[in-house]
Chain A
Amino acid sequence: MSKEVLSVKNLNMHYETLSGDVHAVKDVSFSVKEGESFGLVGESGCGKTSVAMSLLQLQADNAKISSGSIQLDGVELVGMNESELRKVRWDGISIVFQGAMNAWNPVVKVGEQIREAIREHYPEKSKAENTEKIESLFKMVGLDASVIDRFPHELSGGMKQRAIIALALSCDPKVVIADEPTTALDVVIQDQILKEIKKVQELLGLSLIYISHDIAVIAEMTNRMAVMYAGRVVESGPTAEIFANPRHSYTKALLESTPSVVGDRVKLNSLEGEPPSLIDEIPGCSFAPRCPNKTTTCKPELDMKLVEVGPEHYVDICSKESH
């Protein structure tokens, strides 16, 4: 069994806002192993980006990590000071931000912006060395070397996104987080980018954390996954196992509501209601109000806990009975 690169334990994070605290990450635990691809799936607003930002300690100003630990290669990141963090970010753990392709500085050439990032971490490297590095990265993500001297507006959306991936890889990180790297892109382009990411990940032996709301993408991209709902991880485990044998009602609902182009044309099931507001503290099972298979043995008022139900397969306890 390969070793754990990143391990998150009981992470709690909230945003302080005018209308109250938004509990975006509640008691989240998971770990990512060397060279594996880990998926984080959940609906809009369930806290995926918040988890990603916490991993990099790049949360918004009004965000507070109230408890928990994040260890990268055994080094605790929570509570680290800014200068130490700067060292860890990008060459330890880097990220492709959600909507990042719109974050290029429009007046600086793409290559120069990547060079800048490398210089920050390896000031000793020469310009020629850096250029060589960027060229090899571009080749890896399927971009022509000439893109180095182009301005962002001269690139298509797909090209910009590839360049962003090259940027994330520029300092040879151990862990790369990809936060919905294909949302704004067309299906065909998405397909190409997904392949590119997969190829690079296998080639470099990276640990990848792939964040998406699309369970089909997670199915293709990851070995292990976690399902998030309302700030909590409700189920985690090997991707194949979760798809074959979903235990949490929310995971089941997600799987049953995703249309597919292959297989029989089946009637999909919808989920009633809306995700809860994260402002109110929800005691116990946050999915209970929408849960289609609530049973009498289901006690939503109980505290929730991830329980191992199979090899590395964890489920939030409340809906354990539903199998």
Chain B
Amino acid sequence: MNENLEQDLQKQLRKEAIRRNWNLFRQSKLGMIGLYIVIFFLFLALLQPLLFVTGIWNKGVYDPVVGYEAIKDTFLVVECPKEYPTEKYESMKDCPGDGEINVKRLYLAPGVEVGDYYEAFIQPAPPSSRHLLGTDSLGRDVFSQIMEGSQVAFVLGFLSATLGVGISTILGTIAAFFGGRVDAYLMRQSDLILMLPSLPLLFIISAFAELKVWHLAIVLGVLGGLGGSVITIKSQALQVKVKPFVDSARITGGSRWRIMFSHVLPNVAPLALLFMVFSVTGAIASESVLSFLGLLNIDMSWGIMIYLSQTDGFIFSGLEFWWLILPAGLAVTLLAGGFYLVGRGLDDVFNPRLRKR
């Protein structure tokens, strides 16, 4: 009877706490924008497998890695000068074409005459109703690649952040608690890692071993976990350690480990969670840089998409092939930024500067 009352109240209080925190979070405009962005990409990441399972998307066509769609178009062959500028034309673009049919400007090849109609595959193909974001130079659906990329980003971000925050929380708390040599050692270690530039380090690692996504997650997690966040978590833990409730547990006879794990850890956890959200941002950015430099052994990611558009020579062609670069670039920026903003919003919940009463 009493127990029931207690449990009911517990449920009700929990609901209330969630509502209260949610209200606080909602107050932060930036945080909400970030949350919408993250939810949007999460939706994209989950949508793709759904589309394949329901058969709405055919794997042969829409698979982000091995899919292929041949899009043919008819071209009229015109002749254009070899060198520009000429008297008539500034550049090849000005060389005349026909409004109704695509015009292919070709140097005359054997067997092809000026004025011939000519059928050819167009790759990359611009956005169409079948391919919302067009296809890449291998005929693969760019939208599907973006979706695949968000899956990679979430998995990588989550794995590396959890690992990193797990490590730094435990080490930071241990440093605060045991002090002395343990502390000194951990602090020197994180100084060292802070000083090591992480990207070049990753270049070196990738030279020795093929980096897959989860390898990268571990490396990023460990680097993040041993680095500066240990120092921050430690200073937080030091503050918690001298609170009266910790003294009270000590007087009662609680062991060090008990106090560390059940009193100090839960109280640095909010800060750790905050770190976690912020470190997702770093992981997503690192992944795209490494992929862009071709240092990762993964099939598809936003970084790979940008990398491919660069190796295929599209990246410097202005905005003519925008769908090869912009969506992936935007996705990286948005999701990394989105997580950052969510972190800012959570910061308002955990450390309200002026908590309204």
Interface residues of A (CB under 8 A from B): 17-18, 22, 62
Contact = CB atoms under 8 A, between A and B. Distances in A.
Contact of B23 (A18, A22, A62): A18
B333 interface: no
B20 to A, nearest CB: 9
B311 interface: no
7 contacts: A17-B356, A17-B357, A18-B23, A18-B27, A18-B356, A22-B357, A62-B356
Contacts of B27: 18
Nearest to B27: A18
A18 B356 CA distance: 7
Interface string B344-357: 00000000000011
Interface in B14-47: 23, 27
B219 to A, nearest CB: 43
Contacts of A22: 357
Contacts of A18: 23, 27, 356
Q: Among the interface residues A17, A18, A22, A62, which one has the most CB atoms of the partner chain B within 10 A? A: A18
Contacts of A17: 356-357
Contacts of B23: 18
Nearest to A45: B357
Interface in B298-357: 356-357
A217 B356 CA distance: 31
In the complex, which of the residues B23, B27, B356 has the most CB atoms of chain A within 10 Å of its own CB atom? B356
Nearest 7 CB-CB pairings of A with B: A17-B356, A18-B356, A18-B23, A17-B357, A22-B357, A18-B27, A62-B356
Nearest to B24: A18
Contacts of B356: 17-18, 62
A22 B27 CA distance: 19
A22 B23 CA distance: 18
Contacts of A62: 356
A110 to B, nearest CB: 28
B297 to A, nearest CB: 50
Nearest to A16: B356
Nearest to B356: A17
A22 B357 CA distance: 9
A62 B356 CA distance: 10
A113 B67 CA distance: 73
A17 to B, nearest CB: 5
A62 B355 CA distance: 13
Contacts of B357: 17, 22
A18 B355 CA distance: 10
B15 to A, nearest CB: 16
A231 to B, nearest CB: 14
A18 B26 CA distance: 11
Nearest to A278: B357
B145 to A, nearest CB: 43
A17 B24 CA distance: 12
A128 B23 CA distance: 55
B19 to A, nearest CB: 11
A19 to B, nearest CB: 8
A229 to B, nearest CB: 19
A303 B356 CA distance: 30
Nearest to A22: B357
A182 to B, nearest CB: 25
A59 to B, nearest CB: 15
Nearest to B354: A60
A17 B23 CA distance: 12
A208 B357 CA distance: 30
Nearest to B26: A18
A18 B21 CA distance: 12
A62 B357 CA distance: 12
A266 B356 CA distance: 41
A215 B23 CA distance: 39
A18 B27 CA distance: 9
A166 to B, nearest CB: 30
A18 B22 CA distance: 12
A16 to B, nearest CB: 9
A253 B357 CA distance: 28
Interface in B225-246: none
A17 B356 CA distance: 7
A189 B299 CA distance: 74
A151 B357 CA distance: 34
A18 B357 CA distance: 8
A18 B28 CA distance: 13
B175 to A, nearest CB: 30
A151 B192 CA distance: 39
Nearest to A279: B357
A62 B23 CA distance: 18
A17 B27 CA distance: 12
Nearest to A18: B356
Nearest to A17: B356
A17 B357 CA distance: 7
Nearest to B23: A18
A55 B8 CA distance: 47
A50 to B, nearest CB: 12
A48 to B, nearest CB: 16
A181 B96 CA distance: 86
Nearest to B357: A17
A255 B340 CA distance: 55
B227 to A, nearest CB: 33
A286 B123 CA distance: 78
A34 to B, nearest CB: 37
